[in-house]
Structure formats: C-alpha cells, structure tokens
Amino acid sequence: MKIKNKNGKEKLGKKGVFFTLISIMIVATLFLWFNGRQYASNVDTIPVTSERISRANDFVNDVNTHYIDTFSTVATYTALSAIITYEKERGAFLSYDDLQCALKTVPAYGIMLNGTWTDQSSDIYFTTTPNLAQNPNPQSNFISFGGQNSASQSFSPSSSGNLQSATFSVKWAMPPWGNIIVELRDSACGKPGPNVIDSAVITSFIDFLPHTVTAIFSSNPYLVSGREYYFVFSSTGSQSSGVRIDKGNAYPQGQAYKTGTYPISFYLDSKLSSPIIGNNYLSAKLQELANLSKDIYFYNTSFYIIDYSIYQDNQSGPWAVIAEANVNYTVNTTIAAWLANISVKSKVPIAGIEDPYIAIKTNGLYTNKIVNSFEGITTDYLTNSKLWGYGNFTNMLKYKAYKPDPNAPNYLMRFYDNMSASSCCGIESLIYFDDYNVNMSYIDYCYWSNICPGSQPGLNVSLYTVDELSIPPFNFLIEPYHAVQYQISQNTTFYTNDSTGWA
Amino acid sequence: MGIGNKKKIVNKVCFQHNNKLRGKKAYYYSLDAFIAIIVITIGLFIVLQSGSNVQPKQNIYIFSESITNYFTHTKIYDLNDELYPTTIKVWKQDGTITYFTNNLLEQTGELYAKGQLPLANQFVENVTGNAIDPNFNFELIIDNIQIFNETKIPKENSKSLISSTVLITGLIDASTSWGPYVAEIRVWQ
C-alpha cells in the first residue's frame, strides 16, 4: 500500500519510522525491566523484618553475655561494701544465716530482710481468683497480727496465671480500727522475700465479727506454677494482736508464719549513715535496661531474678568472689520473642574493699582494705615461689597487705567471724597496731580467735618475737607455722609458750 | 512522436522520479536510523540514571549495617596495633584503655562516661580512619551528645539517612558501672 500526502505525493509510510519505532520499543522494554528491578529491590518489608530480628538477637546476646554480667559485678561489689558498713555501724558481725540471706537480697534488690518468722501450727485460709492456689474451709481458728506484728502464708500455685485477687477471713480483736494491708511477695531465704510483687489495702470494718474480705491485686501479677510466694498481712492502724486472720485446712504447699519484727525488710541504704548502693542493685539496673529497650527498640522486656548468690571457691580463688545470678527474662519484639532462664557467673575482684573482720574487731578504730601486692610484687608470687623473707615480710606489714594461706579464713568468712580454714581461698594479714598487746600470734585470724595452725583452740602455742620488729609497745609475735611460711625463722627469738591470747 | 518515444519519455521521467524518490527514501531511512540512535542513547541514559538512583539506597544500608557491626562487634583486643595510629597502642599501655574486652562502641562510651570527650572523639577518629567510606557522612551520638562527626553534606540536605541505635553499658572498675546509654550511629548521603 502506498500512502500519499495532501499534495498527492507518495509517503514513506511505516517503513520510514521503522528504526525509530524499534528503538522506542527497545527503550520501553528497558524501562519496564529496570522499573521492575527497582520495584523488586525496594520491597522493604523483608529486610526490615530480618533486620529487626537481627537487632533483637544482638540485644538478647548482650543480655546474656554483657549486661547482666556488668550489672552483677557492680551490684556485688557495692553490696559487699554496704554490708561491711552496716556491720561496722552496728558494731557486730551478721550471723552466717543472715549474711547468706543478705548476699542474696542486697545485690539483687538493695534490700535486707529483717526478723525471725516463727511457724504456726496450721495454715491461713485463702482462695484466689483465678484458682491458682487455695486453702479452703475456714475453721474459725485465728492467728493474731497488727501493729508491730505481721503474719504470712506461703503458697505455691498449682498452675501459672495472672492473679486478680485473693480472699481471706478476718476479724478485729480490739480497736483502734485500721486498714489491713496484704502484700504479695516472692520468697527468699525461706521467708517472705524483698520483692513486693503487688499489695492491696482492705478497708476496715467496725465490729468484732468475722468478715470475708478480698484483696484485689490491681497489676494482675503473673504467678508461675511451682514457685513459692507469700501473702504478708499487716495493719498499721491496730495495736499488737489487733487483727485476727482465720486459719483453714492444713496446706501441704505452704506454711503460716508470724513475726514480731517491723518492718520485715528495709533498703540497706536507709540504715547507713550515707547511702552506698543507690540504684546499683541488679533489679534496678535491669528495669532501667527494660525501660530503655522499650523506648528505643519498642521491645517489651521483663526480667525476674530467680536467685542470686555470692560465694568463693576454686574458680574465684582468694582475691575474688563469684556472683551467680539466675535470671528469667522475656524480650518481645512483636514479630519474634525470646524467653530464657540464664545463669550468669561474674568474677568480682575484692581488691580495694574493706576487711570487715579488722574493722569490727577494733570497733572501727582500724580498717584494712584488701591489697595483695606491694612494690610491684604480688603475695601470690611470693608464696608460690617461696621468695618470702625478712624484707618482704616487713613490707607486707608496712603495706598492710594480705597473702593467701590455706589455713586462713576466706574473705566472706570474715563477715561472720568464722576463722576456720578455707583451703581454696584463705587470706591473712598482719596486725600492724599496738593498741591490744596480747600473747598471741599477730597473724590477724590467730590474733583474736586464739586459733593458729598447729594449735588447738584453747591450747597454748609457742610464740616468737621478730628481730628489730618486736619493739614494745608493738610486741609483734609469731608462731612457728607462720615463721616458716614467711621464711623468717632465723629472724625470730623464742618469747613464750604461754599464748594467753584474748579472753 | 510515436508511442515508443512517448514510452521512452515516460520511462525517463519515471526513472528520474524514482531516482528522486529513492534519494528521499535513503534520506528518510538515514534520518530514521539517526533518530533511533538518539532515542536509544537518551533512553539508555535515562534508564541507567534511574538505575543508579537505586544503588545508593543499597549502599548506604550496607554501609550503615557494616559500620554498626564494626563498632559493636570489634573488641579492643581485635585491633592490630600496627594498623592503627600509635595513640591506640599508647592508650592500651598507659591505662586509658583498661578493658580489652570492650567493643569499640563501649570503649567510646566509657571515655564519654569518664568525661573524656576529646579522647572519645580522637578514639573514634583513629578507629574509623580507614573504615569510613568518604562518600558517606557519619555521626556518632552517645547519650544525646555528639561524640564524632564526619560531615560533607548537612543532614538536612541528605537524600537518605539511616540511624542505628544500640544500648551500651560497661565498667569503670568493679565498683562503678556506666550507662546504660543510648548510642546512635547515623549515616547519610
């Protein structure tokens, strides 16, 4: 076909723009192809999802390997310092049990438990909504509390769930009337723990009849099956024994207790002349972390400290303590969630912390800080290499340093005045003051305990003076075992077999 | 004039006309090809240009991820003293850097927590000297304080900006921790 223009002249037709058409088609194809590629590469949902999960995984890894370890180290060091100060300011050692409890609750919550709980013969009546645990059938057999007295009932949920409320039966024994406070606490050291999970106030009634009352826990705390919790009852408005709470059946999963101590727990800082712990306890730091993760990552993070302990063993050696935190946590990012129980062990050096033993034994007159080196040499090196001698011995006295010794008590034993041997972690220092002249070895743990290696408690041990050192009034004495350990036997002179020591 | 002559004349005219037409056709074909080349050239140019717009988005994302990973996964003990300015080695020896298990971001945070802002800035400059692509802009902010800034174009004029936040904390010694702080790494182009 030929196409003609207006003047009747023949046109070239489609053949005339053949290459142009082809080129436009090629370019159009290229456009479509590139646009398609660009569209595909901008599908952001997949990288964003994977990136968010990857970031959350990094956060969880940091929780496992870094955050808890860091917080736990500082919490432990601070807690030890605070407990020493508490002992010093009280002028008395804690008992073994109280110390073990404090080593759990102070680094974890900054709180010390107070008082002794006595077992009651039968258990308190209670039911819960939903039915997570119960001790039904009130018996009209009451336990009294109020004022400075508190009662408690431990229980263990048979299933996990959010607790909405708990029901009890109470009556007044005597006015004045007041509100009844019911706390839900965790458990620590076999008694109501430091962590008040929730609390409820029951408005008082003005008669002497039994009333079934319901404590509503507004935060609906999540209780875990098998874990131990406590209801703790108190009333500030009443006199002692003003309120009575009804007992029920014998409850195999818990026990009722009563204490005459008030309060049953306190922030340790509140008992010190100046605060030491501040917000450096583990639960506060973990809460800060959870809040930040919510603010910047939009994660719902929660932590629960199942257990906390501080101890010394072969792993810690004499110059550190092991802080072991068992923590349950959840990190929920909405597209993925992590739920884990982890145990984090932190090795916390004790260098620089005070020795409570010297401070309390001298009524705060002298304080020693744990130092294990002088003039660039560690006492471990001197002990292991048998390089002790008169010069290093006098330097140890001068620098108030500590040396390892398997017959000495370890650092933690010094908190509760136990001077028996710790083969892994024993440390000793030399008495450097002349306020108390007694016929006893001037190795710190021998000095007050009258127990020295090679002697039986109450039995005599031979004592020697040290040349050019034992100059009255500083009558430094040493017994044969330590004279050999420090390699100064040739610098000693027999003094007496009568080691009278401290009364 | 005979029919034969007329035909000859017509043939001659047609031949001349055809020759003219052929010349025009050739001209049109040449013009067509020329236009096609221009269309393809312009088309390719536009397509490649639009394609190259996609690339920076990819690169800045990769760069942001890589610089964040570099800061959060490289430990002090990973740094080869020979490949970094001597200040890093000196700081390791004089105690300015104490925890060799710190990653680079934590070390920067520790210096910031100790109030050593110029050192923190210098530290970041030293460890990023060879790691930052000069085509990108980079800024490190800790606890809302700008620690380091490598800017060629202002953020306000950037085509794309990626921000990564990380929570950092650490020890000054056994008795004192710092943080947790929010550390933000911003990269833009």
Chain A interface test: which of B21, B32, B102, B143 (most A C-beta within 10 Å): B32
- What tokens were used for A470? 């034992």
> Total domain count for chain A?
3
In the block, which residue shows the tokens 């070895």?
Answer: A441
CATH number at residue A225: 2.60.120
* Alpha carbons B156 and B137: distance in angstroms, whole number: 12
Residue A502 falls within a domain, yes or no? no
- Tens of pLDDT, residue by residue over A210-226, are 999 999 999 999 999 99
The reply to whether A136 and A256 lie within a common domain is: yes
Asked if A30 and B44 come within 8 Å (Cβ–Cβ), the reply is: yes
CA distances from A28 to A16, A21, B48 (A): 20, 10, 13
Closest to A318 (Cα-Cα) out of A408, A396, A397, A399 = A408
Query: pLDDT digits over B114-171, tens only?
Result: 999 999 999 999 998 877 778 889 999 999 999 999 888 888 888 889 999 999 999 9
pLDDT of res. B141: 96
Last residue in a domain, options A332, A349, A366: A349
Strands A211-216 and A377-378: unpaired
Whether residues A192 and A73 fall in one domain: no
Domain boundary among A233, A263, A293: A263
Distance in angstroms (rounded) separating the CA atoms of residues A326 and B171 = 21
For the record, the structure tokens of A400 come out as 């108030």
CA closest to A282 among chain B residues: B177
Distance, CA of A57 to CA of A398 (rounded, Å) = 52
**Do residues A187 and A312 both lie within one domain?**
no
Q: Cα-flanking dihedrals φ and ψ of residue A488, to 5°?
A: -125, 20
Nearest Cα neighbor of A325 from A108, A96, A101, A80 is A108
Query: Does residue A380 form part of some domain?
Result: yes
**Does A377 lie in the same domain as A311?**
no
Region of residue A137 (phi > 0: left; psi between -120 and 50: alpha; otherwise: beta)? left
For residue A263, whether the previous peptide bond is cis, meaning omega lies within 30 degrees of 0, is yes
pLDDT recorded at residue A4 = 52
Cα-based angle A107, A70, B122 (whole degrees, multiple of 5): 145
Instruction: Give the integer Cα–Cα distance in Å for A430 and A416.
Output: 19
A102 and A120 in one domain?
no
Q: Clarify whether residues A239 and A322 are in a common domain.
A: no
Burial grade of A328 (CB within 10 A; 0-12, 13-18, 19 or more): middle
Tell me phi and psi for residue B55, to 5 degrees.
-55, -50
Side-chain-facing half-sphere of A97: CA atoms under 13 Å: 8
Q: Tell me the C-alpha distance between A338 and A331, whole Å.
A: 5
- Closest residue in A to B44 (Cα–Cα): A27
- The answer as to whether A374 is a domain residue is yes
Calculate the alpha carbon distances from B90 to A230, A410, B93 in Å.
56, 38, 5
**pLDDT beneath 70: ranges in chain A:** 1-16, 34-46, 240, 456-458, 503
- Concatenate the DSSP letters of all residues of A260-329 into one string: --SSSEEEGGGGSSS-S-TT-SHHHHHHHHHHHIIIII--EEEEEEEEEEEE--TTT-TTEEEEEEEEEE
Q: Which of A292, A310, A348 to mutate to test the interface with B (most CBs of B within 10 A)?
A: A292
**Model's pTM, two decimal places?**
0.82
B25: chain A residues, CB-CB within 8 Å: 12, 16
For residue A459, being part of any structural domain is answered with: yes
The pair of structure tokens assigned to A375 is 């003039």
Asked if B32 lies within 8 A of A73 by C-beta distance, the reply is no
| Rounded CA separation A211/A216 (Å) | 16
Distance from CA of B9 to the nearest CA of A (A): 21
Q: Which helix (H) or strand (E) holds A62?
A: helix A45-62
Which member of A15, A62, A296 has the closest CB to residue B182? A296
Choose the mutation target among A17, A23, A289 for the interface with B, i.e. most B CBs under 10 Å. Answer: A23
Q: CA nearest B72 in A: which residue?
A: A58
Regarding whether A219 and A231 lie in a shared domain, the answer is yes
- Tell me the CA distances in angstroms from A88 to A85, A92, A311, A320, B87, one per residue in order: 5, 7, 21, 22, 45
Q: Do B175 and A71 touch (CB under 8 A)?
A: no
Residue range A32-82, pLDDT digits in tens: 776 655 544 444 444 778 888 988 999 999 999 999 999 999 999 999 999
Is residue A34 assigned to a domain? no
Which phi-psi region, left, alpha or beta, contains residue B20 (left: φ > 0; alpha: ψ -120 to 50)?
A: alpha
Cα torsion angle, B115, B116, B117, B121, sign: negative
Q: b or e along A466-485 (b: 16 or more beta carbons within 10 Å of the residue's beta carbon)?
A: beebbeeeebbbbbbbbbeb
Answer yes or no: is A33 within a domain: no
Instruction: Kindly indicate the confidence band of residue B4, based on its pLDDT and cuts at 50, 70 and 90.
Output: low
B32, B46, B170: residue with CB nearest A16:
B32
Q: What are the C-alpha distances in Å from A207 to residues A98, A174, A247, A266, A341?
A: 40, 9, 20, 33, 49
Beta bridge partners of A378: A373
A157 within 8 A of A176, measured Cβ to Cβ: no
Q: What is the CA radius of gyration of chain A?
A: 36
Assess whether A420 and A490 both reside in one domain: yes
DSSP type of residue A474: B
Residue A429 lies in a domain: yes
Domain encompassing residue A307: 50-111+278-349
Q: Are residues A192 and A231 in the same domain?
A: yes
| CA–CA dist A274, A269 (Å, integer) | 7
pLDDT at residue number B10 = 54
Residues linked to residue B166 through DSSP beta bridges, in sequence order: B183
- Domain-ending residue, one of A321, A349, A377: A349
Separation CA A357–CA A88 (nearest Å): 9
Query: B28–A70: do the CB atoms touch at under 8 Å?
Result: no
Q: How far apart are CA A146 and CA A260, in angstroms?
A: 9
Q: Specify whether A359 is located in the same domain as A435.
A: yes
Q: Which residue of A has its CA nearest to B21?
A: A10
Whether A247 is covered by a domain: the verdict is yes
A383 and A325 in one domain?
A: no
Residues of chain B neighbouring A66 (CB-CB closer than 8 A) = 169
pLDDT of residue A205: 85
Provide the shortest C-alpha distance from residue A68 to chain B (in Å): 10
A205 and A144 within one domain:
yes
Record: contact B39-A18, CB cut-off 8 A: no
